[in-house]
Amino acid sequence: MRDYIRKRVVDVSLYIIKTNATVRQAATVFGVSKSTIHKDVTERLPRINPELATQVKQVLEHNKAERHIRGGEATKRKYIRARKVS
3-state SS string for the chain: CCHHHHHHHHHHHHHHHHHCCCHHHHHHHHCCCHHHHHHHHHHHHHHHCHHHHHHHHHHHHHHHHHHHHHHHHHHHHHHHHHHHHC
Q: Residues 42-54: what's their mean pLDDT? A: 97
**pTM: predicted TM-score of the whole model, two decimal places:** 0.79
Above 80 in pLDDT, residue 67? Answer: no
Q: Residue 5 — pLDDT band, cuts 50, 70, 90? A: very high
Please count the structural domains in the chain: 1
Check pLDDT > 80 for residue 56. yes
pLDDT at 27 (0 to 100): 97
The residue range of the domain holding 76 is 3-85
How far is the C-alpha of 61 from the C-alpha of 55, rounded, in Å?
Answer: 10
> In the prediction, which pLDDT does 74 show?
80
Quote the mean pLDDT of the chain.
93
